[in-house]
Each structure stands twice: as structure tokens, then as C-alpha cells.
């Protein structure tokens, strides 16, 4: 039976959570009204000159996730679907011709008739699922909207694009299954998208209750290592927003992973390998070559992605260090940069986020979840 979490509008109790979060300039976003409520001004030690800012968690994570995924080498591969099908197919034709002619000039998504801004770095898949899950958390984690997606998934013209594991879970829902079976009877139970959705649990609930909320959300599409990694992601980001040092937050996340599991081994191995690195590029190369799986065709395994994230978070000395390390692992570009961007925003502040990625300027493409097209994250949550 699916566990419904009625954790809406809960905020961390006093103590370390409230005080340490204030020191970082972070505001827990929900106070019983809307995702942008509860804003206060707090000093932020990561901004030069003692500057002050107002930062609801929803906004902070939105900017961080998009900053990360928009810099990913895979961003244009997602956004290309905003173009007419003929243009998308043209890229494939050119790639096939290049392969047949044995040329090394590789085509990338491009546009002639549409505005170039369609392909400019911007919101991708990860932020859409973050927004979708945040909406679910504010509404008690029911299955109604998941069932709507399941029906949409059955229609080839419906416009839904999602990970293999997500689509399999939606198909399970259509067959009459209920969570956690929908996530358990799933060949891609280990997919890493739930580690991003877990950040939404922290954004809505703060650290208090986020782990169980993330568990309930992830169980719809994941199980075992996919579920455990989502729980650990909630622990990591919950600890960071509460003001924990990176090392302490990473330790808590590792301890959340069950012993003698794929997830725990990958986390511990990644941290051990990263500790020997001399910098972000060396760290990325060591993780990719000594830890990464180059045999399986889909590098979206949560244990690997999350293990790499922990390694970068534990070792990074600043935003550039953290992001360079994550982006230098292009094989893991589907989710790792988005997670790293969210972590960098919490750890090191928003100065490292590029201009043009203000919360009100970030519009979801709807290329993953069509109903979200053109909305801001806040609008997607409240629609």
C-alpha cells in the first residue's frame, strides 16, 4: 500500500536547523501559504561584503539545479525536441552520414527556422521532475497526477518524455499496480532521477520529515538502490540546508545507505578515490576511470551518480571546483550536474550562478511533462 505523507507546511523545529540555515541565508519556503512565503532577510557568509539575501529553498534549488543542468553536455539533446520533428530528424541524418563517411565532425542540435534561444542552455529534464515532485509534496503525495501521466504515457502523441524507469512505473500504474510494487517491478529501479526528486522533499519540508517524504515519492518509480539513494539525497541536502559542513553532510548521507549494498559500496569507493585527487579534473578522471561503469549502456544508475556527487561535495573548495568536477564527467551528464548545481547553491551561495537564471526567468519547457510548458517552478507547484 502506498504511504501517503501529510507533511505539508511543516518547517524545521528550532535548534540547529533554523539557526544554521539562517547563517547561510536560506529560508524554509512553506509557512502554510505558498512556496515563496516565509521569506526573511538573513546574513549570508558566502557573499562578499556581508551582502544579504532572501532565499526560499524552492528558489535556491531551482536556480542551482538549472545552473547545473543547463551547463551539461546533454542539455541541448533534451531541448532539441522543442524543434519541429523534421529538424530533430535532420540531426540524426547528419550523424548517420558522418558515421557512414567516417568523418569526425559530429553534428549537434541546431536550428534554422526557430529562434536560437530554443537551444540555448536552460531548463531541462531534472527541473521539471523537481517541480512535479514539489507539487506532489505540497498536496500529500497522492497518485492522481501520476495516474494522469500514466494515461499520457500510453499516447505516443501525448508529448511525455521520461526515463525508462519512470515510463515502466507509469505502465505499472496503468496495469493496476500500486506503490511500492510500481517501483519494485521495474527493470530500471535504480535510476538516478529520484535523487533529484528528493531535493523537492527538502525544499518543501525542510530537513524535518524530508527523508520519509522522499521515500514515499521515490517508491512510486524506484526500489532498493534507487530508493535508498533518494533517501540519502534527502539526508545530504537536508543537512546542508541546516548548515552542516560538507564532510558531515556527506557522512550522514553515506550512513543512510544500507551496509553491504551497491549504493554504499559506490559511495565509499568514490570518496576514497576522490581523496587522492589533486583537483577537480583529476578527481573527475579518477572517478570516471576507477569507479565508473563503462559496460552498461545507460549511465544513469543512482549508486554511481550519487556516489560521484558525494565525492565532489566532500572535496570541493568552492562552486567552480564542485561544478568543474561534475561537468568533467560527461558520461554522467544526465543528472550529476543538476545535483552538483543544487549542492553548490546551498554550500557556496548564488554568486556562482550565471546571470539570466533568475527564478522568474526560468521557464519549464514541458518537453518532459507537457502540462508544465511555459511555467515557472512556482507556477508549476501552485497551478
Candidate from 113-117, 213-217, 260-264, 313-317 with smallest mean pLDDT:
113-117
Quick one: cell of 346?
546551498
What is the separation of C-alpha 257 from the centre of its chain, rounded to a whole number of angstroms? 18
> Does 57-83+122-382 carry CATH code 3.30.310.50?
no
What is the per-residue pLDDT for 22? 55
How far from 194 is each of 154, 185, 222, 303, CA to CA, in Å? 22, 16, 8, 11
More confident residue, 21 or 302: 302
Residue closest to 146 by CA, chosen among 126, 174, 127, 124: 174
What is the per-residue pLDDT for 130? 99
What is the per-residue pLDDT for 113? 82
pTM for this prediction: 0.88
End-to-end CA distance of the chain: 28
What is the per-residue pLDDT for 135? 98
What is the per-residue pLDDT for 112? 83
pLDDT tens-digit readout, 18-44: 445 555 666 655 543 344 333 323 333
pLDDT tens-digit readout, 172-212: 999 999 999 999 999 999 999 999 999 999 999 999 999 99
Candidate from 44-58, 98-112, 264-278, 320-334 with smallest mean pLDDT:
44-58
* For residues 47-68, average pLDDT: 72
Q: How confident is the model at residue 8 (pLDDT cuts 50, 70, 90)?
A: very low
Percentage of the residues of the chain whose pLDDT score is greater than 70: 86
φ/ψ (deg, to 5) at 191: -55, 150
**Across-strand partners of 52?**
43
What is the per-residue pLDDT for 53? 32
Residue ranges of the domains in the chain?
57-83+122-382, 87-118
Residue closest to 304 by CA, chosen among 344, 275, 331, 327: 331
> Average model confidence (pLDDT) for the chain?
89
Amino acid at each position: 500500500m502506498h504511504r501517503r505523507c501529510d507533511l505539508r507546511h511543516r518547517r524545521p523545529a528550532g535548534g540547529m536547523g533554523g539557526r544554521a540555515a539562517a547563517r547561510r541565508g536560506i529560508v524554509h519556503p512553506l509557512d502554510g501559504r505558498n512556496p515563496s512565503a516565509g521569506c526573511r532577510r538573513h546574513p549570508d557568509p558566502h557573499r562578499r561584503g556581508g551582502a544579504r539575501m532572501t532565499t526560499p529553498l524552492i528558489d535556491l534549488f531551482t536556480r542551482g539545479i538549472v545552473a547545473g543542468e543547463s551547463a551539461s553536455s546533454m542539455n541541448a539533446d533534451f531541448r532539441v525536441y522543442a524543434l519541429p520533428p523534421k529538424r530533430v530528424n535532420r540531426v540524426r541524418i547528419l550523424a548517420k552520414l558522418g558515421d557512414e563517411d567516417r568523418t569526425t565532425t559530429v553534428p549537434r542540435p541546431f536550428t534554422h527556422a526557430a529562434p536560437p534561444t530554443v537551444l540555448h542552455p536552460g531548463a531541462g529534464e531534472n527541473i521539471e521532475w523537481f517541480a512535479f515532485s514539489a507539487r506532489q509534496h505540497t498536496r500529500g503525495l497522492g497518485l492522481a497526477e501520476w495516474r494522469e501521466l500514466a494515461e499520457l504515457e500510453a499516447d505516443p502523441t501525448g508529448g511525455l518524455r521520461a526515463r525508462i524507469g519512470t515510463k515502466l512505473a507509469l505502465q505499472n500504474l496503468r496495469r493496476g499496480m500500486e506503490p511500492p510494487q510500481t517501483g519494485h517491478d521495474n527493470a530500471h529501479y535504480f535510476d538516478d532521477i529520484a535523487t533529484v526528486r528528493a531535493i523537492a522533499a527538502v525544499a518543501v519540508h525542510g530537513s524535518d520529515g524530508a527523508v520519509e517524504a522522499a521515500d514515499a515519492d521515490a517508491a512510486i518509480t524506484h526500489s532498493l538502490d534507487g530508493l535508498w539513494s533518494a533517501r540519502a539525497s534527502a539526508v545530504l541536502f537536508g543537512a546542508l540546508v541546516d548548515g552542516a559542513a560538507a564532510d558531515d553532510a556527506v557522512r550522514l548521507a553515506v550512513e543512510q545507505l544500507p551496509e553491504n549494498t551497491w549504493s554504499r559500496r559506490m559511495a565509499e569507493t568514490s570518496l576514497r578515490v576522490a581523496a587522492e585527487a589533486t583537483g577537480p579534473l583529476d578527481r573527475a578522471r579518477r572517478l570516471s576511470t576507477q569507479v565508473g561503469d563503462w559496460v552498461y549502456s545507460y549511465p544513469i544508475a543512482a549508486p554511481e551518480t550519487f556516489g560521484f556527487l558525494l565525492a565532489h561535495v566532500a572535496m570541493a573548495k568552492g562552486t567552480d571546483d564542485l561544478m568543474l568536477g561534475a561537468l568533467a564527467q560527461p558520461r554522467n551528464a544526465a543528472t550529476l550536474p543538476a545535483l552538483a548545481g543544487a549542492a553548490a547553491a546551498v554550500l557556496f551561495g548564488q554568486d556562482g550562478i550565471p546571470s539570466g537564471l533568475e527564478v522568474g526567468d526560468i521557464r519549464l519547457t514541458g518537453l518532459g511533462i507537457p502540462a508544465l510548458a511555459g511555467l515557472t517552478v512556482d507556477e508549476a507547484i501552485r497551478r
